[in-house]
Amino acid sequence: MRGQPISLDEAKPIVTALSTLIYKAQDAHYDIATSMMTMKSHIQSLEERAHAATVHIQAKFDAQACGWAFGMNVFDLIAWRKANVTGRYRYWQEQNIERTLWKLGTLPPGLLAFYGLTEPLDRRWHVLGLGYDVNIDNRLIETAAVIHYNGNMKPWLKLGIGRYKPFWSRYLNSSHPYLQDRVTA
C-alpha cells in the first residue's frame, strides 16, 4: 500500500472491498490523514467534540473547525512521522491526565493531534451515522465502501435502527455459539 495503510475498526461491517479505496488513495494527493469530515448540522464541531474548555486549547484551535469520524482514516505514515503526530497525541493525553479538559477518552486528543493535518474523503467512501441518524438514504449505504454504526443505536442492540440492521446482519455468522444468545434481530 506504499505507506498509506487503512485503519478500520474491525467491528464495523465492510459493504464493499476496500481495494477501490486503496487504489484511489495511492493515486491521489493526501495530507497525513484523509478521513470522513463530519461538518454537518447534525454533527458536532471540533469544540463540541473535544470539549475544549480552557483558554490554552481555545487559543490554538479554531473552535468551528470540522471534526471527523475517527474510525475510518487513510494514513500517510511518512508524513505522520514528519509531523510527529504520535508526540502530538501523547502531549494532549498528558495535558488531560487529570481529566479536566475532556471526559470522552481517545477521540478529543486524536482530533487535536491531527488538527490541520487532514483532508476529507468523499462521503460515498465512508457513510456514518447508522447508529443515530434515521434518514440516511439506502442507496448511499449500498454503494459505500464502509458503513459506520457510530452512535448509541448499534444494530446488534434492541434499540438499533431497524432498517439498518440488515446491512450488518448479512455479514454476521449467526450460527456461531457465542453469538446465538447475544444478538438481537
Residues recorded for the chain: 185
**pLDDT tens digits, 116-160:** 888 887 878 889 899 999 999 999 999 998 899 988 999 988 899
Q: What is the C-alpha R_g of the chain?
A: 18
Q: Please give the pLDDT value at position 54.
A: 58
Q: Which of helix, strand or coil describes residue 75?
A: strand
Residue 52, all three cell numbers? 475544549
Same domain for 167 and 98:
no
DSSP assignment of 82-115 equals: HTTHHHHHHHHHHHTTTS-S-SS-SHHHHHHHTT
Residue 134, all three cell numbers? 434515521
Q: What is the largest CA-CA distance in the chain?
A: 54
Same domain for 164 and 109:
no
Same domain for 100 and 15:
yes
Same domain for 91 and 75:
yes
Same domain for 74 and 31:
yes
Q: Cα(85)–Cα(32) distance, rounded to whole angstroms?
A: 9
Q: Would you say residue 1 lies in a domain?
A: no
Residue 155, all three cell numbers? 444494530
Residue 100, all three cell numbers? 479536566
Positions of the chain with pLDDT lower than 50, given as ranges: 1-31, 34, 36, 38-44, 52-53
Q: Model-level pTM greater than 0.75? A: no
For the chain, list the strands marked E by DSSP: 6-8, 33-37, 68-75, 118-120, 126-128, 146-148
Same domain for 60 and 104:
yes
| Domain span including residue 143 | 124-180
Pairing of strands 118-120, 6-8: unpaired
Q: Please give the pLDDT value at position 17.
A: 33
For 62-182, list the strands marked E by DSSP: 68-75, 118-120, 126-128, 146-148
Q: Please give the pLDDT value at position 47.
A: 55
